[in-house]
Amino acid sequence: MSKFDDIKIPSNIDEVTKNAIKRGIDYNKRRKYKELGIASITILAIGTGIIGVGIMNPSIADSIPIIKNILNYFYDNKESLYESDKKDLEKTGVDLNLTVEDKGIEFTINSISVDDNYITIFHTVKTDKNIKEIDKSYKEAYFANPIEKLYIDGKDVIEGEIIEQEATYVSDNELKGMRKIDVSNIEIPNNTEIELRIDEIFGTKGNWSIFTKVDKSRAIEETYNYDINKDFIVNSTYDYDGKKVDVNHNINIEKVIISPLANKIVINEKSTKTFDDWSPMLGNSFALFDQDGKSLDVVDKGGSGPNPETGIATNSYEFLKADKNTKSLTLVPISYDETIENYDLEPQSIDKLPIVFETSEHGKLIVEDIQITDKEIRYTYYKDGVEPRYAQLWFFDKDGKELNISSTIKESIDRRTGRYTTILDLEGHDNNLDDIRNISKVSTFTQNSMRLLYDKQIKIDLEKDNNK
């Protein structure tokens, strides 16, 4: 039997929406009249790398190999949301330059970067047609970008979270793209052969399969993979169909991975009750703290629902502000009190930065920078304490009148600094330019309904003898 026969493949992908868009649900409850255009999966452009490592010393910097194709990608895509990850991607990367052609379309895997959490692929697609004219949605390179599927021993390894990818046009008939595949749920030994398969590009069916071997040699020394296998139960009460429903969440913390491209905690969950239209899950509703009590940001990237055959949902959740020196984690479940109303905070002037929004007794959002043009609004912030959501700002003029701004949202995270950048793309939306130019104040809403269940916390020791 192959070592990959027991790969955990969640088959209920739709259930991801219960947790993946919780912040959007909360948003709509509070501001139903606001129009938000979400740029599909691009809303989660997640940077990778260990936070808290600090400035690299010269000897380490000198040892980073020059991966030409990765450098070229970031040169060509100056708007990349992964720019802050470039050094880590280079350090764990290798140039491949493997090309396959079918149906007049040439597909090349230029480079891949690999560790125990992610396989990051850099690719180029060429055709003799004007790509933007093939489909009207292709005016945005993101929607034209082909998505590789990962196969090991002929098995499709399905991801359990939002697909991360981006792309840019080099010319009318050439596209460069990047794609991240989460592999934290499975073990892939170094030098394992993988297949990266694409069966459709620009609406044309075909076969663009490329085989290569995984090279994790550059990441192994800086990867810490801890076997935890710890069980606990969280009791929750939900409002469902007009009734109070008690649910026990049986949780197994499988492992923790600290690696160059991410920090991940892998959790298996099985609930005692499910319904035809809903499977209640704890999901990523938890806070993490290190051995010193410092809150570690849990990145909201959603997750998969339970496998219909086993009833078990397996998800890996990314977290920030930890590194190889982290000795332990404490997981504290989060619940929400539906009887408590959250409310909008007092609008603050954008001329007085930084702006500190105290969103609950557990955490704050600190907005450091806001840049506004006719084409986009860009704001950068960080979290102090427990703040599970991305910052959503409302906009006001100098007299406190709220301005209804329509946009497409992109999110980027700098793992080295713990800073988040939200980009509101205003192009293609019917906004009043006077409204945009009159923005003087911003606000957000509270998280007062959030409760940290300290009585149900669980400590996770990251002992060196547990490191594989």
pLDDT digits over 271-320, tens only?
888 888 888 889 999 999 999 999 999 998 878 888 888 889 999 999 99
Confidence (pLDDT) at 466? 56
Q: Cβ distance 171 to 125 under 8 Å? A: no
The neighbouring-strand residues paired with 441 are 349, 396
Residue 372 reports pLDDT greater than 90: yes
Could you tell me which residues come within 8 angstroms of residue 257 by beta carbon, excluding any fewer than 6 positions away?
116, 117, 184, 223, 224, 225, 226, 263, 264, 265, 266, 316
CA distance to 45, 373, 438, per residue, from 407 (Å): 17, 13, 16
For residue 425 the two structure tokens come to 């793309």
348 Cβ partners below 8 Å, 6+ apart? 355, 357, 441, 442, 443
Gap between the Cα atoms of 314 and 15, Å rounded: 12
Least confident of 41-55, 86-100, 289-303, 424-438: 41-55
| 259 CB-contact burial (10 Å; exposed 0-12 / middle 13-18 / buried 19+) | buried
pLDDT for position 377: 97
Q: How far is 352 from 88, CA to CA, in rounded Å?
A: 35
Output the pLDDT for position 300. 87
- From CA 100, how far away is CA 109, in angstroms rounded? 9
pLDDT in tens, 73-132: 999 999 999 999 999 999 999 999 999 999 999 999 999 999 999 999 999 999 999 999
Query: Is the entire prediction scored with pTM above 0.85?
Result: no
Domains of the chain: 64-220 (2.60.40.1630), 224-339+451-466 (2.60.40), 348-448 (no CATH)
Average pLDDT, the chain: 85
- The yes-or-no verdict on residue 62 having pLDDT over 70 is no
| CA–CA dist 151, 186 (Å, integer) | 12
Tell me which residue has tokens 């409850």: 29
pLDDT bin (cut points 50, 70, 90) of residue 227 is: very high
What's the confidence (pLDDT) of residue 31?
37
Query: Binning pLDDT at 50, 70 and 90, where does residue 2 land?
Result: very low
- For 355, half-sphere exposure in the C-beta direction (CA atoms, 13 angstrom radius) is 23
Give the 3-state secondary structure of residue 18. helix
pLDDT above 60 for 26: no
